[in-house]
Structure 1
Amino acid sequence: MPYESGADWQYDVPTTGSTHLPPDAGYGKALRSQGYGFEVAVADLIDNSIDAGADKVVVHFLRDAERILTLLIIDNGRGMDDASLDAAMTVGRRREYGDGALGMYGTGLKAASLSRAGSLTAVSRTRRSRAAGRLLTAEGMEDGFRCDTVDPRYAQDLIDRYDGIIEWHGTVVRWDRVSNFDTVARGQSDQYLSRAIARLETHLGLYLHRFLQQGLKLDIAVWDVSATDGVRGSLGEEVDHIAVEALDPFGYKVPGKAGYPLVITAPVEGVGDVDLTAHIWPAKSKQAGFRQVGSLNERQGFYFYRNDRLVQAGGWNGLRSPEGHLALARIAVDLPSPSNDVFSLDVKKEGVTVTPAFTLGLDKAQAANGVTFHGYLADAENAYRDGAKRTEIVRKAVTAPGKGLDPKIKRVIKEELPEKPGEEPIAFTWTALPEDVFFDLDRENNAVLLNKTFREDFTDGRRGGSNDTPMLKTLLYLLLEDCFGLGRWERARQDRIDYWNTILLTSARAERDRRARASS
Structure 2
Amino acid sequence: MRAVGYTLRTAVADLIDNSISADATTVDIFFGDQPEPYLAMADNGSGMTAEVAIAAMRLAGTSPMKTRHPKDLGRFGLGLKTASLSQCRDLIVISKRNGALCGFEWNIDHMIERQTWSLLVLAEEEIRQLPRFSEIADLASGTLVIWRNLDRLEATVGDLSSAFDTAMMDVRDHLALVFHRFLAGEHDGRFSISMNRVPVKGSDPFLESNKATQVGPSESFSVEDERIEVRPYTLPHLSRMSSADKNRAQIAGRVRDSQGFYIYRGLRLVIWGTWFRIAPKDDLGKLARVKVDIPNTLDHLWSLDIKKASAAPPPQIRDNLRRIAGRIVEPSRRVHLYRGRIVQEQSRTSPMWNVVDDRGTFRYEINRQHPALEMLADQMSPDDVTQLSSVLTLLESTFPVEDAYNRLGQDESHSPLQPTAPELEGLASALWKAHKASGGDSELFVSAMSSIEPFAHTSAPTELLWKVVND
TM-score interval (norm. to shorter): 0.5 to 0.7
2:58 is matched with which residue?
Answer: 90
- Matched residues in 1 for 2:237 and 2:81: separation? 43
The answer on whether the counterparts of 1:302 and 1:331 sit within 8 Å (CA) in structure 2 is yes
Query: CA 1:159–1:116 in structure 2 vs 1: closer, same or farther (change >3 Å)?
Result: closer
Q: Which residue of structure 1 aligns with residue 176 of structure 2?
A: 205
Superposition deviation, residue 320 in structure 1: 2.9
Q: Is the 8 A contact 2:99 2:140 kept in 1?
A: no
Q: How does 1:452-491 map to 2 (within 5 A)?
A: none
Compared CA separation, residues 183 and 102, structure 1 to 2 (3 A)? closer
Structure 1 residue corresponding to 2:192, chosen from 217, 230, 233: 217
1:28-67 pair list within 5 angstroms: 31-64=1-34
Partner of 1:167: 139
Q: Relative to structure 1, is the Cα distance of residues 40 and 166 closer, same or farther in structure 2, using a 3 angstrom cutoff?
A: farther
For residue 218 of structure 1, give the secondary structure of its aligned residue in structure 2: strand
Please tell me whether the aligned partners of residues 28 and 42 of structure 2 are also in contact (alpha carbons under 8 angstroms): yes
In the other structure, the counterpart of 1:430 is none
Q: How big is the shift at 1:316?
A: 1.0
Whether the 8 Å contact between 1:206 and 1:247 is mirrored in structure 2 is: yes
Distance 1:109 1:164 in 2: 19
1: CA distance between counterparts of 2:50 and 2:222?
45
Q: Deviations over 1:176-212 (max 9, x none)?
A: 12122356665x724x133212211110000011111
Query: Which residue in the other structure is 2:289 paired with?
Result: 330
Q: What per-residue deviation string (whole Å, max 9, x for no partner) do you get for residues 234-265 of structure 1?
A: xxxxxxx421011111233346575x332234
The alpha-carbon deviation at position 104 of structure 1 amounts to 1.3
Cα separation, 1, equivalents of 2:296 and 2:16: 22
Partner of 2:237: 283
What is the Cα deviation at residue 75 of structure 1? 1.0
Tell me if 1:386 matches 2:338.
Answer: yes
Matched, 1:118 2:112: no
- C-alpha offsets along residues 349-375 of structure 1, whole Å, 9 cap, x if unaligned? 12221123223223444xxxxxxx412
* CA–CA separation in structure 2 for the residues paired with 1:294 and 1:326: 16
Match of 2:217 among 223, 240, 262: 262
Q: 1:180 aligns with which of 153, 174, 177?
A: 153
Distance change in 2, residues 1:140/1:354 (3 Å): farther
Q: Is the 8 A contact 2:227 2:294 kept in 1?
A: no
- How many Å separate the matches in 2 of 1:135 and 1:64? 20
Aligned residues: 329
Match of 2:357 in 1: none
- Between Structure 1 and Structure 2, the one with more helix by share is 2
Take 1:244 and 1:319, find their aligned partners in 2: how far apart are those partners?
Answer: 34
Contiguous gaps of at least 5 residues in structure 1: 1-30, 222-240, 366-372, 391-416, 419-520
Amino acid at match of 1:382: R
Q: SS at the partner of 1:219?
A: strand
Aligned match of 1:358: 317
CA 1:385 to 1:180, structure 2 compared with 1: closer, same or farther past 3 Å?
farther
SS of residue in 2 equivalent to 1:339: helix
**Which stretch shifts more, 294-303 or 101-110?**
294-303
Q: Give the distance between the partners of 2:51 and 2:212, measured in 1 at CA.
A: 53
Residue 185 and residue 46 in structure 1: after superposition, are their counterparts in 2 closer, same or farther (change >3 A)?
Answer: closer
Distance 1:220 1:257 in 2: 30
- Distance in 1 between the 2:194 and 2:307 partners? 22
Q: Judge conservation of contact 1:342–1:355 (CA < 8 Å) in 2.
A: yes
Question: Is the 1:76–1:166 Cα contact (8 Å) retained in structure 2?
Answer: no
Q: Matched residues in 2 for 1:73 and 1:50: separation?
A: 13
Residue type at the aligned position of 1:79: G
* Amino acid across the alignment from 1:274: I
2:209 — aligned with what? 253
Identity %: 26
Q: Work out which of the residue numbers 26, 29, 45 in structure 2 matches 1:77.
A: 45
- Residue 278 of structure 1 aligns with an amino acid whose one-letter code is P
Give 1:87's aligned amino acid: A
Tell me, yes or no, if the aligned pair for 1:277 and 1:331 is still in contact at 8 Å: yes
Provide structure 2 residue ranges, at least 5 long, that are not aligned to the other structure: 344-410, 413-471
RMSD (Å), alpha carbons? 2.9
* Aligned 8 A contact 2:229 2:294 in 1: no
The offset of 1:149, in angstroms, is: 0.9
SS of residue in 1 equivalent to 2:218? strand
| Rounded Cα–Cα distance in structure 1 between residues aligned with 2:46 and 2:223 | 40
Partner of 2:270: 311
Contact 1:92 1:107 in 2 (8 A): yes
Q: Deviations over 1:255-288 (max 9, x none)?
A: 6575x332234x5665676331000000102314
Q: CA deviation digits over 1:129-156, x for unaligned, max 9? A: 1x22111023455522111111221213
Following the alignment from structure 1 to structure 2, what is the Cα–Cα distance between the partners of residues 311 and 252?
A: 20
The DSSP-based 3-state class of the residue aligned with 2:328 is: helix
SS at match of 1:101: coil
Q: Distance in 1 between matches of 2:331 and 2:77?
A: 42
TM-score with structure 1 setting the length = 0.58
Q: Mean Cα displacement is larger for which, 84-93 or 331-340?
A: 331-340
Question: For 2:85 and 2:24, how far apart are their aligned partners in 1?
Answer: 23
Tell me which amino acid in the other structure corresponds to 2:38.
Answer: T
Q: State whether structure 2 residue 233 is matched by structure 1 residue 274.
A: no
TM-score if structure 2 supplies the norm length? 0.63
> Structure 2 CA distance, aligned partners of 1:272 and 1:91?
29
Distance 2:102 2:13 in 1: 24
Residue 108 of structure 2 corresponds to: 138
Instruction: Give the secondary-structure state (helix, strand or coil) at the position aligned to 2:69.
Output: coil
8 Å CA contact retained: 2:42, 2:135: no
Letter matched to residue 57 of structure 2: M
Deviation at 1:94, TM superposition (A): 1.4
Q: Could you tell me whether the CA contact under 8 Å between 2:99 and 2:139 is conserved in 1?
A: no
